[in-house]
Structure formats: structure tokens, C-alpha cells
Amino acid sequence: MTSPDTQAYANTDEPAYGTFTEGNLVQSQDTVSLDTLFDPLIETELVFILTDDLSMSATEDEILFKSKVAAGLEIPDSRYKDWFPNFTLEDLLCDNGAAGLVVISDAVVPPSFEQLGDIHMALYHQDEKIGEGISSNVLDNPASSVAWLSGKLKSHGKSLKKGMIIASGTFIPPLRVKEGTYQATFTGIGDVSVTFSR
């Protein structure tokens, strides 16, 4: 919930977060069975892979220096029936932020902070464009989303560590997943794809 549109769904003025484990990670071009999910959505995101521990309340400059960035597709999923867009913030937090899967491409060295705020994305389903957006929709810059998370974790006495993978927030409002192949292209970062089957 890193944009006004997504924050409006849960009536909040800040993002929320959940926790991924290795079991939530999918490599680009893999196939996922819809029978293993409940009611999945798809979001287009930049994914930060930390190459070093971050200090508490890390700045955007520190985050970019200690990260690589990958094209990503987050697949939020919830155990509540008919959850989207009918959920509350409490629902989301009780269900681990609707953490479903995250699809990750090969990572690259991040561009400058200014360039990172101007990444254009196009999303395709079965080769038909179904959405487009820009990285400034994510708290004005995806690195600022990671900085928000770092600051929020500091309030709980925690910090972000080397090797952690952070989905920074969606460029566009979530869409319901259908069978077929989704591909997202991010200027200067790369492409990511996943196929959903029955």
C-alpha cells in the first residue's frame, strides 16, 4: 500500500508489510498452479535484494549502495473469501500482509535515485497490454518505500539484513490473476514473467 490508490483500499495513510520466506519466491519464467493459491492478485514491483546489512532507518542513498534491483511481480493472496477489495487494514495485518508469492528476474545494479523514480512499466497478459505505470507511484520513489520499511522496523528494534528480498510496492492497482502468461517490462531494469496454469 505505497500509493494513494492502494492505501484507500484499507483506509490507511501509510504502507503495511508482511514477511516472505524462501517458499514464497518464484523465478521469472516459472509456472505456478492456480490450484495452490486461494484468490491471487498480480502487482508490478521493483524488488530490492540487499547485498549488505542496512543500518536502522537507512537512507535512500544507503539502500541503493547496498542493494541490487530486479523486475518483479508480486502475487498477493489471502485466506479470506472475497477479500479484495473488501478487506480492512486489520484483515491484511492478520494475514501476513496477504503475502502470497513474488516472482523475481535477474538483479542489476540500481540506477541513480532520480532515475529510479522514473522507471516506466508495461504489463502484458497473453501478449496483450493490460496495464502501465511509473515508479514514482511508489511513495514517489521505490527506494523511499524501502526506507519507510527500515524506519518502521527500527520502531520494533529490528533492521534489514544482507540477503533479504524486499518487494517495494506496486506501480498500478492490483489485478485479479487469470490463467496464462504475464510479462512486465521495466525500463532500464529488465523483464519478468510468470505463467499460471490449472
Domain boundaries, the chain: 4-15+23-197
Q: Give the chain's radius of gyration (CA, Å).
A: 16
pLDDT band of 90, cuts 50, 70, 90? confident
Q: Is the pLDDT of residue 96 over 80?
A: no
Quick: pLDDT tens for 34-84: 999 999 999 999 999 999 999 998 999 999 999 999 999 999 998 888 888
Question: Which pLDDT belongs to residue 6?
Answer: 67
Local structure of 154: helix, strand or coil: helix
Question: Which pLDDT belongs to residue 144?
Answer: 96
* H helices present in 95-190, as ranges: 113-116, 142-154
pLDDT band of 9, cuts 50, 70, 90? low
Report percent pLDDT > 70 for the chain.
93
Q: How far apart are the first and last CA of the chain?
A: 29
CATH architecture of 4-15+23-197: Alpha-Beta Complex (3.90)
